[in-house]
């Protein structure tokens, strides 16, 4: 291989590496914006080329899980309208419905169910084993009667 092609290969590899790091950085920023309730930033980042709202960086929950827990309904609605998976798993094996329940976000629980969230999904361990902790069980344990009623009527 001559030196020109070697240099070209090195440049391509550096570009790809930078591109991957940039994508991870932007996906992390998307999750942060979702946590902060920064709707405009969520819209901006999610519209960038190469950003998949269902991807997330290891160690950071998906934006839909974060927004669901934090009660940012406008962001939850936006992410779902852009194709976010309503049953996506977070880093701890949670789902947006589980997160909304833990955060006592009644309207988001109702909205996620209307968009097809699976109420039977519970927390899973790192190997994917169901731990038996569903949204209904969480709501009953925490005495969130409003969410218990919504989950029971959605059967």
Q: Give burial (CB, 10 Å; 0-12/13-18/19+) of 62.
A: buried
Task: Summarize the confidence of residues 48-66 as an average pLDDT.
Answer: 81
Higher pLDDT, 111 or 54: 111
What CATH number is associated with residue 123? 1.25.40.20
Domain that holds residue 50: 3-153
The pTM of the full predicted model, rounded to 2 decimals, is: 0.82
pLDDT above 90 covers a percentage of the chain that reads: 57
88 pLDDT more than 60: yes
Domains held by the chain: number: 1
Yes or no: say if 144 and 109 are a contact pair by the CB < 8 Å rule: no
pLDDT at residue 17 greater than cutoff 80: no
* pLDDT digits 0-9 by tens, 68-81: 999 999 999 999 99
Of residues 85, 80, 81, 76, the one with CA closest to residue 56? 85
Phi, psi of 41 (to 5 degrees): -70, -40
User: Is the separation of the CB atoms in 56 and 27 below 8 Å?
Assistant: yes
pLDDT at residue 20 tops 60: no
Report the C-alpha gap between 82 and 64 in whole angstroms: 11
């Amino acid at each position: 291989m001559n030196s020109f092609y070697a240099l070209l290969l090195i440049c391509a590899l550096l570009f790809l590496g930078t591109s991957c790091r940039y994508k991870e950085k932007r996906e992390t920023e998307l999750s942060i914006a979702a946590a902060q309730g920064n709707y405009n930033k969520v819209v901006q980042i999610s519209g960038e080329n190469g950003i998949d709202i269902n991807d997330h960086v290891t160690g950071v929950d998906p934006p839909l899980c974060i927004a669901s827990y934090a009660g940012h309904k406008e962001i939850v609605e936006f992410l779902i309208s852009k194709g976010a998976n309503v049953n996506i798993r977070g880093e701890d094996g949670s789902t947006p419905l589980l997160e909304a329940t833990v955060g006592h976000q009644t309207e988001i629980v109702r909205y996620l169910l209307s968009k097809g969230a699976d109420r039977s999904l519970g927390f899973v361990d790192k190997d994917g084993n169901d731990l038996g902790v569903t949204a209904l069980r969480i709501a009953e344990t925490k005495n969130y009667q409003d969410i218990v009623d919504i989950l029971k009527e959605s059967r």
